[in-house]
Structure 1
Amino acid sequence: MTHFLRRTRTAALLALALAAPLAVRAADVDIPYETFTLPNGLRVVVHTDRKAPIVAVNVWYHVGAKNEYAGKTGFAHLFEHLMFQGTENYQGEYFAPFEQVGATNMNGTTNSDRTNYFENVPTTALDLALWMESDRMGHFIESIDQADLDEQRGVVQNEKRQGENQPYGRVWERLAESSYPAGHPYSWTTIGSMADLDAASLGDVKNWFRAWYGPNNAVLVLAGDIDVETARKKVARYFGDIPAGPTLAQPEVDPAPRTGSTRETMTDRVAQARIYRVWNVPEFGDGDFDRLRLFANVLGGSKASRLDGRLVHDERIADSVSAMAYDGELGSTFMMTADVKDGVDPAVVEKALDEELQRLLREGPTQAELDRAKAIFQSGFVHGVERIGGFGGKADVLAECAVFTGDPGCFRTRQQTIAEADLAAVGASARRWLGQGDHTLVVVPGAQPPAPVDGSTADDPAMPQGVEVIPQPDVRFTTLESDVDRSKGPPLTAEFPDLKFPELQRTTLSNGIPVILAERHEVPVVRVSVEFPGGYAADVGRATGTASFTMGMLEEGAGELDALAFASRTEELGASIGAGAALDGSSAYLSALTDRLDPSLALLADVVQRPRFEADDIARVKATWIAGIAQEKTRPNSIAMRLLPPLLYGQGHPYAIPFTGSGDAASIGSLEREDLVDFQRDVLRPDNATVVVAGDTTLERIVPLLEKHFADWTVPGEKQVVREIPKVGQPASQRVFLVDQPGAIQATIMAGELVPSTMDDSDLPFSIANGVLGGEFSSRLNMNLREDKSWAYGAYSFASSARGQRPWIAFAPVQIDKTAEALAEMRREVAAYATGQAPATEAEIAKIRATNVRGLPGSYETLDAVMSAIGGIVRFERPDDYVVTLKDRIEELSDAEVRETAGLIDPAALTWVVVGDLETIEAPVRALGLGEVVVLDADGNRVR
């Protein structure tokens, strides 16, 4: 990830409090923690949260792209990949032991400032996790060899190609180079230079490890079902004997504020022009930065913002706008973006962006705007602290603060900064940093720029030069004795905790609407979803995309409030309201703070019962929607997902639609208000509805509120009969469809065919069978195309949930010159597996079974996960104990059942869609002789 595109700064981005309007304040929802430091310098932060029998293990190393130097760009990220290659005492894929114990949220990431590795494990598997993390920290250097380096170099280079092959994908490198002076640690991207990656040697790898991966340069956070005394004993045992590394200086904090305005324009394979305008602003932890977040929210960070109001709603010269601030350790970035509406001169949009910025700089926000911005951040923090691990969980918040400020509780200071921010302070911070020094990049439709001649940075005199000799380890640190015999390998986990899933409580409102409640009281948040049958499938007889468009229009004004007023009221409450459609169902949903549940429910009730569907709003959203469809047709994965379903199901079938749900431009353009009203009458009705609630409430509290807001909802006429989903036969032979993307440096390969419904008895064994083939990191497809061949960043397979026949899809974005070879390998793997030539082994089935069963305790940590499970119970008519009995049902499956359901995939009936540069891929793909080869355009029309 680049400095600009790094993952949003964990929940600390949201760790901002509200001063007055809400009774439940972020300051009241804390992350208590305790700390200790081992003699070798490893800092440990412990947070106890007993809601689920899992522990989040999160290791942050204080090294990122900013610590690279000439000739070595991309090295921090390359090394992150290498650290998943096994260790001196564990040879094999690093993910494998974790899959065996049911780890969830496992990954590693790198940005400009740090590298981290994290996983959530069942409490009983904590020893395994600590053994594995300590083994790669202390026992890695002799395990890496040239083959490992070459393999992961290829994977990283395909990750780089994958990013650059997307629309606007080459923006971030340009912004980094243009926004920072040459040689600044943020002036190159985290992914680095192809030439520098090619030049990386085994000696470089080992020097990087010696320099940066010592315990004294790391923070370990343990969060969840753990206490500090247990942590102290286990961490000392596994990490205490690891010698410290050198203590290396970090680059000086340098936001690099600019004094002048600069601009550039570039063409790309995009559907519409996009404007980026950036400023360099102060670093993580600086009060000005946190006040700039409030300013950004008022300007363009919410649906009720000034930029949205003027550019999207009033003048309609942009399809979307945003303003945001990304923080970094040395300095941060303030960014405005706008997607220019088709036919509008980008200069007109630029002028409007600047006018609104200058007006806000001059006048400052109103008190109401500032209060609303605080409510948004406060609500975000409360929601964020529900998760213990993964991206943005509590472990990330604590680690980030510990690494960058030395204080794991720095999020509290940031909350206070926001809580105390007044109009004068916010305005002063904005004027201080945004009054000058912007850089504007305008991307316009045209030819995608050729892949850059990505030379080495070794001879760049502006870049920092590395040291040839790594300093000696810091002698201030010492080690502890350990009784761990690493020659025995990772400790076995013999016992596993039981799943904690809330009991489902049911009742019925006075007008007959069923209510399902799952209580969870760890955070003051309540989620509510109103579920309806009839999603994309309800488009039969209507314009394609009607379901998605209608659901999207529900929040564009409801009851007494127009679109902007509705957004403003929602944000003032710290609530989140939305609606959407899937293949077989639609839903409107709410996330609310407990003490604001009543007024938040009033808004949700208006959404489903009294949407305004104003003609003016329909016209505005319709134009933006059509622009979004055009954007989909420039993204390789989206093109394939638009084209494959109609090819699988055949024209006229309810599922023969783009699986993006967006429909096509002509059908969306034809929609009138009456079409939306008809869909609401036929689908969004009380006799179709089920209300699902999860979170900090009880039946005694929630039912009166639901009665208040939903009991007078009456049935609008005769109920529509839900159509049966017709069955489709398999094609007589394989088919190959090619879509041209001139100049593409990758090809997206998708293969698909139909398998039985989610409601079929084969569902569970087929999910295990798919897991062996392509459902996990260590599954066959990924091990082949990524780990063995290094042709792809990832290769996977999945089956979407559906009441009718569902699509099974295998996919891989691959480097363009290996398209035919990769397609042949995918077909070989699928055919050998499905026909029984290379059936699932006992070990493979046991691994996927263990992953699914042992991962259950960590799978329902959040309210969103609980709501999703209940939604599946409603949509697919499952028993209420579906989740709690899942473990037994998986364990009862025989290997023979799994192998039999693998045969549901017929390799002779696969439909292939390949999106790439036909000049490079067409002849080799045709030469494979897989069947008829047809060239389509991005709309699915036959070209030849």
Structure 2
Amino acid sequence: MRLIDRRLSILLAGASLLAACAPSAAVESAATRDLVAAVAPAAPVAVDPVPVTTLAREVTIPHQKFVLDNGLTVIVHEDHKAPVVGVSVWYNVGSKDEPKGKTGFAHLFEHLMFNGSENLPGDYFEYLQQVGATDYNGTTSFDRTNYFETVPTGALDRALFMESDRMGHLLGAIGQDVLDNQRGVVQNEKRQGDNRPGGLVFYKVLETLFPEDHPYHHQTIGSMADLDAASLQTVGGWFHDKYGPNNAVLVLAGDIDAATARPLVEKYFGSIPRGPVNNPAQAPVIPLASPQSAVMKDQVATTSVSRFWPVPGLLDDQLVALDVGGSVLGGLASSRLDEALVRNEKLATSVSAGLYAFQRVGIFTVSATVKPGVDPAVVEKRLDELVSGFIANGPTEDEVRRATVSEVGGRIRGLEQVGGFGGKAVTLAESQTFTGDSNWYARNLATYASITPAAVRAAMGQWLTKPAFSLRLEPGARPPYEEAKSVNAKGAKATNKNAKAGKPGAKREVPPVGTLAALDFPDVTITRLSNGVELQYAQRTAVPVTQLALSFDAGEAADAPNGRGLQSMVMSMLDEGAGGMSSQKLAEAEERLGADIDTGSSLDRSSVTMSALSANLAPSLALMGDIVKNPTFDPVELERVRTQRLTGIKQLQKDPNGIAQRVLPTLLFGPDHPYATLAGGDAAAIGRFTRDELVGFKDAWLRPDRLKIFVVSDRPLSEIQPLIEAEFGQWAAPAVPAGVKHFGAPPARPTAPRIVLVNRPDSPQSVISGGQITPADPRNNIEAVIAANDVLGGNFLSRINMDLREAKGWSYGVTGSVRPSEKAVPYVISAPVQADRTGDSIVALNKDIGEFLKLKGVTADEFTRTIANRVNALPGQYETSGAVLSAMMSNDLFGRPTNYQESLAAKYRSYTAGSLDQAIRGTVDPNGFVWVVVGDAAKVKPQLDKLGIPVEVIEAR
């Protein structure tokens, strides 16, 4: 279900570029080499899917709850699978509680609460990284603000102190300089979202569906004008009125028990006084009085048509019925709209439908991206007919069951994680905050398991027969952008940079960090199937799920220079019909089982991955086997997918990040290198690929002699291996020769920088992407380079992010990343910046990089923080089976031992600041960057011309 934690996005024509980490070359132990002989192969077993009611009963989060005298509600859940604790604090305040003229204030305040408190000055990320926290962040929605981190158990005292200090001791640390900086950061976050194709649509949806005085009338991010108007006085008032402990829920989930937790929480939070009670704004569902319509224009490849209805929200009895109805109509891969508009009638390249549920209200939407050459009016007419037909007849029992199994399966997978964006802590906090009942998640899931087609039909009939807002988004020029005062008029100078939002309270002593446990990475067993295919297995028992990856030594590098996109076309066609089943039937079968089967690729590997409910593993494996071994490559489906791919490429050519992804690799590697990939593929090549070419690629590359299998499961190997053996153990390679990749040396790294400017008119933000090919060896001390890059560009506290985001406020976030692949290690910087600071940002980046590499290497404080973070974060990084699976595949790709992760702590501790300096200085050349800038050339080129760096202007390719 799309709860309010998941940001509403309008689906446009665009390719979702799949990326998967994949591998080759493993070490096989003598003890496990012949294990296959001891495990008797078993024939595939026909197994009916486990009933959804049974699956739903598996979703339990036992917990204890208590309330402090000051009103803070505390929930504790024990999960000792890893020595970490998920800490989640939810404040019962969101953007729906903002008065007129203060839109965006709740979200701005979320940012301010990361910039230090009275007893922990400076950036909160500094303290989180010192203890090796993982999955840490904060978010704001219409209905709540939350902060979360997963910390090693020995650092729980420190984490509780941090959260209590910003709850009760914040205002004395917020000054005018902090407010001004974070205002700029938030405005760049807004530009970043608005700059995307279709980025202005949701503003229009909210303004149309909800009256001007309605709490959901405005976006959480707010308006530029209201953000400009925020003052220290309003900051202080907002904190006092909204952030008291009696308006908060604290959840601790993980390696902790209630008896231990209670005195700790009392110690750190008990002295914080109650605040005013925030009664969240009431917001009635007000149907539109009459149908509304609008046409918007933006940098999109093709027209999309949408319908929106205001409907009940999270607390309504019809929540589940509306959500299931949305899944059946347009949310599932097998949905009614997909089957009719995309697969059968081929009027649209993509469709969607679903419920976006907020605390008080919801939005139900259906949409379709019009196939190029088709009249949008025809698609709109058919869309309305299909919705009307669905309302009239309702879903079938099978459709409802497939939707509910998919929902329950997703919940089971999500509960492996204790913290993060969607783990156990979030589930409990959301239930308590919005409903007052921490067990609401279980009641909600039981409703899914028992929902009937009649209930779905009744809910859809009640709400989707009311007037709708109809929106067309067409290719064209968008309206002038609402800019911030700082850009339009350079803003007013603050009269007192030393002013504070409040007076500091009593000094508190920061607690020490206790003993932190080392990583216990699961043992990996390597064995072989009867046909010689290597199988790597690890056990994780936290959830009843099996994750499996089929990794083929192919990847994007297997494409010929004149055939970019063939590999990805083949991978995308695998599940478009296989084993005698159509794409529709395959999707239905996958949904009945609650399995997720996906195809994807990295530069070096092509992969088919599956996350299966272990109770349904045998039939899920059979389905996966058909997809991999027996794809149909039906010519009719091929033409449909071809059209989708070509439309997706056109959309990438409109999206600033997509443009940069398509331009940079060729500039770095030269046009003929295997790594000179073209995101989405080459439109000319995709337009001419034949079925025979797809079959030929599959036979040459997706075959058992290029395959390794990786599994992480709650079930033992003795149970898993016979099932995999039965499905893949007799698979024989075809007679045709296996494919061969042709790697030559990449071009020499430039000795002086250059800029390639891609013109994208009317962009309020420029996307800067700089890269170079480094001499680093991915198999030789790459860890030192990556650790050193934590200081330069690898995390939030890096030099370039702290400069452009936290010091200057020109960007929402800047990163520099070391990107090891099998045959090369590029270094790539990504910096989306406000358009009027594009030239200044490149100057700043060059200065930061040059000073770090030539003058100011890793400081003592940076070194201590980096090594502590790298070592202490290891248990949290490998908490989930998905993380373990990815690590196993990465270890294989780079020829590492299976216990590589357990060796990392000692390796990190062996470094010095000098050895990190030496590693990165031998890797990154400050003069070796090719800078790609995607922005409005009329605004940007005059800035770039002043830099003394050659500038070439091109159009999107």
Category of TM-score, reference length = shorter chain: over 0.9
How far the C-alpha of 1:721 sits from its partner, in A, is 4.2
Aligned to 1:934: 952
Aligned to 2:39: none
How far the C-alpha of 1:165 sits from its partner, in A, is 0.9
Aligned to 2:44: none
Aligned to 1:916: 935
Judge which range, 538-547 or 502-511, deviates more: 538-547
Aligned to 1:768: 787
The answer on whether the counterparts of 1:256 and 1:331 sit within 8 Å (CA) in structure 2 is no
In 2, Cα distance between equivalents of 1:819 and 1:454: 16
The answer on whether the counterparts of 1:759 and 1:803 sit within 8 Å (CA) in structure 2 is yes
* 1:671-710 equivalences in 2 (<5 Å): 671-710=689-728
* 1:279-428 equivalences in 2 (<5 Å): 279-428=309-458
Aligned to 1:638: 658
Judge which range, 391-400 or 725-734, deviates more: 725-734
1:116-154 Cα distance to aligned partner (Å, 9 max, x none): 000000010001100000000000111111111101111
The answer on whether the counterparts of 2:102 and 2:226 sit within 8 Å (CA) in structure 1 is yes
CA 789–774 in structure 1, closer or farther in 2 if over 3 Å, else same: same
Identical amino acids, percent of aligned pairs: 44
How far the C-alpha of 1:723 sits from its partner, in A, is 3.9
Aligned to 2:799: 780
The question of 1:207 aligning with 2:237 is answered yes
How far the C-alpha of 1:516 sits from its partner, in A, is 0.7
1:551-587 Cα distance to aligned partner (Å, 9 max, x none): 1111111112111111111111110111111101111
The answer on whether the counterparts of 2:224 and 2:482 sit within 8 Å (CA) in structure 1 is no
How far the C-alpha of 1:722 sits from its partner, in A, is 4.6
In 2, Cα distance between equivalents of 1:487 and 1:889: 39
CA 822–549 in structure 1, closer or farther in 2 if over 3 Å, else same: same
The answer on whether the counterparts of 1:849 and 1:891 sit within 8 Å (CA) in structure 2 is yes
The answer on whether the counterparts of 1:529 and 1:587 sit within 8 Å (CA) in structure 2 is yes
Aligned to 1:436: 466
State the TM-score, normalized to the length of structure 1.
0.93
How far the C-alpha of 1:492 sits from its partner, in A, is 2.6
How far the C-alpha of 1:325 sits from its partner, in A, is 0.7
The question of 1:566 aligning with 2:586 is answered yes
Report the residue type matching 1:521 in the other structure: T
CA 365–513 in structure 1, closer or farther in 2 if over 3 Å, else same: same
Q: In the alignment, which of 671, 678, 684 is matched to residue 651 of structure 1?
A: 671
In 1, Cα distance between equivalents of 2:422 and 2:356: 14
1:10-40 Cα distance to aligned partner (Å, 9 max, x none): xxxxxxxx99734741222211111000000
In 2, Cα distance between equivalents of 1:311 and 1:141: 55
In 1, Cα distance between equivalents of 2:135 and 2:253: 13
In 1, Cα distance between equivalents of 2:575 and 2:131: 42
Unaligned 5+ runs, structure 1: 10-17, 457-484, 940-944
Aligned to 2:501: none
The question of 1:866 aligning with 2:884 is answered yes
Report the residue type matching 1:382 in the other structure: I
In 1, Cα distance between equivalents of 2:675 and 2:272: 56
In 1, Cα distance between equivalents of 2:859 and 2:717: 48
The answer on whether the counterparts of 1:526 and 1:696 sit within 8 Å (CA) in structure 2 is yes
How far the C-alpha of 1:505 sits from its partner, in A, is 1.1
- What is the DSSP-based 3-state SS (H/G/I as helix, E as strand, rest coil) of the residue aligned with 1:915? strand
Instruction: Report the RMSD for the aligned CA atoms in angstroms.
Output: 1.9
The question of 1:620 aligning with 2:620 is answered no
- What is the DSSP-based 3-state SS (H/G/I as helix, E as strand, rest coil) of the residue aligned with 2:855? coil
In 2, Cα distance between equivalents of 1:535 and 1:206: 54
The answer on whether the counterparts of 2:56 and 2:449 sit within 8 Å (CA) in structure 1 is no
The answer on whether the counterparts of 1:269 and 1:445 sit within 8 Å (CA) in structure 2 is yes
- What is the DSSP-based 3-state SS (H/G/I as helix, E as strand, rest coil) of the residue aligned with 1:798? strand
CA 537–691 in structure 1, closer or farther in 2 if over 3 Å, else same: same
Aligned to 2:611: 591
The question of 1:177 aligning with 2:197 is answered no
The question of 1:848 aligning with 2:871 is answered no
- What is the DSSP-based 3-state SS (H/G/I as helix, E as strand, rest coil) of the residue aligned with 1:883? helix
The question of 1:832 aligning with 2:862 is answered no
Report the residue type matching 1:689 in the other structure: L
In 2, Cα distance between equivalents of 1:576 and 1:877: 28
Judge which range, 55-64 or 680-689, deviates more: 680-689
Aligned to 1:713: 731
The answer on whether the counterparts of 2:812 and 2:832 sit within 8 Å (CA) in structure 1 is yes
1:654-695 Cα distance to aligned partner (Å, 9 max, x none): 11112x3x2121111121111211211111111111110102
* 1:867-882 equivalences in 2 (<5 Å): 867-882=885-900
Q: In the alignment, which of 612, 617, 623 is matched to residue 603 of structure 1?
A: 623
The answer on whether the counterparts of 1:757 and 1:804 sit within 8 Å (CA) in structure 2 is no
How far the C-alpha of 1:311 sits from its partner, in A, is 0.6
Aligned to 1:467: none
CA 498–868 in structure 1, closer or farther in 2 if over 3 Å, else same: same
Identify the structure with bigger relative contact order (alpha carbons < 8 Å, sequence gap 6+): 2
* 1:39-438 equivalences in 2 (<5 Å): 39-438=69-468
Aligned to 1:821: 840
- What is the DSSP-based 3-state SS (H/G/I as helix, E as strand, rest coil) of the residue aligned with 1:25? helix
In 1, Cα distance between equivalents of 2:579 and 2:149: 44
1:141-173 Cα distance to aligned partner (Å, 9 max, x none): 111111111011111111111111110000011
Q: In the alignment, which of 759, 762, 766 is matched to residue 747 of structure 1?
A: 766
The question of 1:666 aligning with 2:696 is answered no
Aligned to 2:7: 7
Aligned to 1:475: none
1:423-455 Cα distance to aligned partner (Å, 9 max, x none): 211111111111112111111000022113789
Judge which range, 118-127 or 494-503, deviates more: 494-503
Report the residue type matching 1:254 in the other structure: P
State the TM-score, normalized to the length of structure 2.
0.92
CA 721–749 in structure 1, closer or farther in 2 if over 3 Å, else same: closer
CA 664–722 in structure 1, closer or farther in 2 if over 3 Å, else same: closer
In 2, Cα distance between equivalents of 1:762 and 1:829: 24
In 2, Cα distance between equivalents of 1:756 and 1:601: 42
In 1, Cα distance between equivalents of 2:8 and 2:234: 30
1:842-868 Cα distance to aligned partner (Å, 9 max, x none): 221221222111110000111111110
How far the C-alpha of 1:762 sits from its partner, in A, is 3.7
- What is the DSSP-based 3-state SS (H/G/I as helix, E as strand, rest coil) of the residue aligned with 1:257? coil
Count of matched residue pairs? 898
The answer on whether the counterparts of 1:168 and 1:443 sit within 8 Å (CA) in structure 2 is yes
In 1, Cα distance between equivalents of 2:537 and 2:523: 8
1:203-258 Cα distance to aligned partner (Å, 9 max, x none): 00000000000000000011111111111111010000000001132222412233
Unaligned 5+ runs, structure 2: 10-47, 487-504
